Amino acid sequence: MTLALNCWEYMKCGREPNGVKTEKMGVCPAATDTQRNGLNHGKRAGRSCWEVTDTCCVGQTQGLLVKRQISCVNCGFYRKVKREEGAQFKQLKERLEICISV
């Protein structure tokens, strides 16, 4: 599996492990989330950051998932991942439902 561009690379936020802003802002939860590793061909939650609480977008922590759904689906990175993945685009919830039904 080839890994594709992750959110921290696309956004250039500097919050990936050893990133330039980690000392001040900490490592982004999307960059440490192992539950979503490989989802949409990303590293950790790098291509499903919209599913992770407390990620940053436009320099601000986005907080709870429910409160930011609209901003995430309108995000250029979200649209890029969805376009690149096409019919293979997955959300964690969908992947869990597949595992449970097996």
**DSSP string for residues in 80-98:** HHHHHHGGG---HHHHHHH
pLDDT digits (tens, 9 = 90+) for 31-86: 999 999 999 999 999 999 988 888 877 666 666 666 667 778 889 999 999 999 99
Note the pTM of the prediction, 2 decimals.
0.81
pLDDT digits (tens, 9 = 90+) for 73-98: 889 999 999 999 999 999 866 554 54
- How far separated are the first and last CA of the chain, in Å rounded? 23
